[in-house]
Amino acid sequence: MIREVIVGENGGIRIDRYLSDICPELSRSYIQKLLKCDRVSVNKKIVKSNYKVSEGERISFDVPDAVEPEILPEEMKLEILYEDSDLIMVNKPKGMVVHPAAGHLSGTLVNGLLAHCRDLSGINGILRPGIVHRIDMDTTGVLVACKNDFAHNHIAEQLKEHTITRVYYAIVHGVIAEDEGTIDASIGRHPVDRKKMSINEKNGKHAVTHYHVLCRFERFTFLECRLETGRTHQIRVHMASIGHPLLGDTVYRTGKCPIPGLQGQTLHAGILGILHPRTEEYLEVRAPLPKYFSDLLKNWGYNGDGILCNLY
C-alpha cells in the first residue's frame, strides 16, 4: 500500500526518524528496512535512512499489506460489570493485554470477549473487534467494548469530545503537599525511546489530568485522578513530570521498586461514565480496587473512608 505525507514544520531531521514520529504504528527499524529496500522516495527520488527531510517535500513509501492472523475465541473468566445488546463493560485484571498484537495473539481480553459475545463491532479491524479505548497491560479496571458499529461510533465520538467520565486511582512516590492540583501538559511520543511517551509541548497532543489526594503515607501518596483527556500513558507521564511517578512503574521511573513482588504500576480505572448510545441516558460503572492495591493501603493503615488523611 502506497502512503504519502507532506513534510511539515518539523523538517531537518533524518527521514527514518521523521516517519517513525508521524507513523507510531511502524517501528523505526521497520522503516529503515523499507528505506534499505528502496520503498521510500522523496519527490519521486529514492532516498536512504540518512536523508534529511525539508518542509514541503512529498514522501511516498510502500508498506506491504500485512496478513492479519486469525484471532480465536478463548473461554476465560471475565468480571462483567455491565452488559446489554450494545455494550459490555468489564473489570480488566492486572497483566492482561487488551487486544492481540505482536507477541500477544492469545490470552487477551479480545480473545475472551469473542468467546463470550461472538459479535463485536468491526470498526477497528479483526485484531481489535469491539475495542474503542484501551488501558495498559498492568493497569486494572473498567473498560467498555462495543457489540456493534452503532455503539462504537457513539462512544468514539464521546471520547473525541472528552465527555466521558474517567476516574483512576493511583499510588505515587513521594508525599504531595497540596490537596489537589491540575497538570496541563501536552503529551507526545518520546524523542528517543519510541516505546515511551513524554511531555512534548511542540508536537504533542493536549492533555489535562486533575488529581486529588486521598491519603498521604510516609513515602507515598494515594490519589484520585480525573482525566479531562485520554492520551497514551497520560497519568503515568503527567505524575512523573511533577516528580511523583507511579509506584511500580518501571517505564517512567528508574531504580528498584521498593515493594517486593509488585508487578507494574499501581493504577486502577475505578469509574467509567458514558451516555448510553441507545438510550442517551448517563451510565456510570465502578470497579473495586484489586486486592493487591487494597492490601497495600491496608498495610499502611489507610482507613478507606475516601477523605483527605495523613498517616505519617
Active site residues: 136
Judge whether 127 and 97 are in contact, CB under 8 Å.
no
Q: How many CB atoms lie within 10 A of CB 152?
A: 25
Helix (H, G, I), strand (E, B) or coil at 51: coil
Distance between CA atoms of residues 229 and 253, nearest Å: 23
Q: Find the DSSP H helices in the chain.
A: 15-22, 28-36, 109-117, 149-160, 234-241, 291-299
Give me the residues paired with residue 264 across strands: none
Query: What are the start-end ranges of the E strands in the chain?
Result: 2-6, 40-42, 45-46, 58-62, 80-83, 87-92, 140-146, 165-173, 180-184, 187-189, 197-199, 208-216, 220-227, 267-275, 282-286
Measured CA distances, 229 to 117, 220, 243, 279, 311 (Å): 29, 25, 21, 24, 31
Q: Hey, what's the cell of 264?
A: 507494574
Helix (H, G, I), strand (E, B) or coil at 43: coil
Greatest extent of the chain over all pairs of C-alpha atoms, in Å:
67
Q: How many CB atoms lie within 10 A of CB 105?
A: 15
